């Protein structure tokens, strides 16, 4: 009994596994996007639009029948279907310039430029003049020396007490660096010419710090149309030649009129269930008979035997 149950379980598992294997085998099957049949039925085309990565081995090449014709593959054509893409695009550019005047800036910006976008589209773009901007890119500091001279005439002596130690010159404070004394007048004293008037020429120095622009950043936009042609689909056309299938003629006996009504009755719907019930009953009877034989063959211990 256990063997029978085990065999039944194996048959059920096998029947469940068959559809799964069939699905795995059909995983690579290619299905047509359209089917075109000639009016006389002698030619049929199956059209497949696949991706470039798809394997055309999944296209069916087997013979088949349809509408009374048997079709056989005679040719499989391959055609690449490029996809054209076009759109408006704006590209921003940034560069450095030593000068900020527009003449120098425009010399760095051509009127048209070739560009390639990140996704591979190319095109010739034109400069938009209203988008040109010039901004300082950085500042630096410089220090330079300042010098100024002052004259102080008609001094009685070469005394620096009357010479200012600092002055203001164009908003900058300068300090006294040196003095050059010049004689303005001399007096005769005991036959000697002695200077009694002097002019002091004082030199003042200082420093000043100023900032300057190191350079300029120029930015501008280019606009125009970019386009791209890419292989997006591959079309396969399977051409089948059709030949009409001759119908098979079967001679059937003409039934008697008396048995016509009885012959038209669908006896298969009655006989099949009756046959199944009979087989089940026979199986149960055999099983019960085997059971009874096994019980009869088993020896029964009597009281006498026990003594």
**pLDDT score for 161:** 85
Residue with the two structure tokens 């350079």: 215
**pLDDT score for 59:** 94
Q: What is residue 257's three-state secondary structure?
A: coil
Among 187, 194, 204, residue whose Cα is nearest residue 152:
204
Q: Count of CB atoms within 10 A of residue 25's CB?
A: 9
**pLDDT score for 17:** 46
Q: Whole-angstrom Cα distance, residue 85 to residue 117?
A: 13
Q: Is the pLDDT of residue 255 over 90?
A: no
**pLDDT tens digits along 179-218:** 998 887 766 666 666 667 889 999 999 999 888 888 999 9
**pLDDT score for 2:** 46
**pLDDT score for 9:** 44
What's the burial of 240, exposed, middle or buried (CB within 10 Å: 0-12/13-18/19+)?
buried
Question: How wide is the angle at C-alpha 238 spanned by C-alphas 233 and 242, nearest 5°?
Answer: 155
């Amino acid at each position: 009994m256990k063997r029978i149950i085990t065999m039944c379980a194996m048959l059920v598992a096998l029947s469940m596994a068959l559809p799964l294997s069939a699905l795995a085998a059909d995983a690579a099957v290619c299905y047509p996007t359209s089917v075109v049949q000639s009016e006389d039925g002698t030619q049929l085309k199956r059209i497949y639009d696949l991706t470039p990565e798809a394997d055309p081995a999944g296209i069916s090449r087997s013979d088949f029948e349809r509408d009374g014709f048997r079709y056989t593959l005679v040719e499989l054509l391959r055609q690449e279907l490029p996809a054209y893409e076009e759109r408006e695009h704006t590209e921003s550019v940034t560069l450095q310039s030593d000068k900020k005047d527009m003449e120098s800036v425009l010399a760095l910006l051509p009127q048209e430029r070739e560009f390639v976008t990140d996704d591979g589209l190319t095109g010739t773009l034109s400069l938009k003049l209203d988008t040109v901007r010039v901004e300082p890119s950085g500042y630096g500091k410089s220090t330079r020396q300042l010098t100024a001279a002052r004259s102080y005439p008609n001094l009685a002596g070469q005394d620096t007490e009357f010479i200012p130690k600092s002055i203001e010159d164009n908003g900058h404070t300068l300090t006294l660096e040196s003095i050059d004394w010049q004689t303005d007048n001399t007096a005769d004293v005991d036959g000697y010419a002695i200077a009694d008037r002097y002019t002091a020429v004082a030199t003042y120095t200082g420093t000043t710090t100023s900032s300057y622009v190191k350079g300029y950043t120029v930015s501008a936009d280019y606009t125009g149309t970019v386009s791209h042609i890419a292989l997006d689909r591959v079309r396969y056309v399977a051409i089948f030649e059709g030949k009409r299938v001759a119908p098979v003629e079967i001679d059937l006996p003409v039934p008697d009129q008396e048995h016509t009504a009885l012959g038209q009755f669908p006896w298969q719907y009655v006989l099949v269930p009756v046959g199944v019930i009979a087989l089940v009953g026979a199986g149960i009877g055999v099983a019960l008979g085997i059971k009874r034989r096994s019980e009869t063959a088993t020896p029964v211990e009597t009281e006498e035997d026990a003594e």
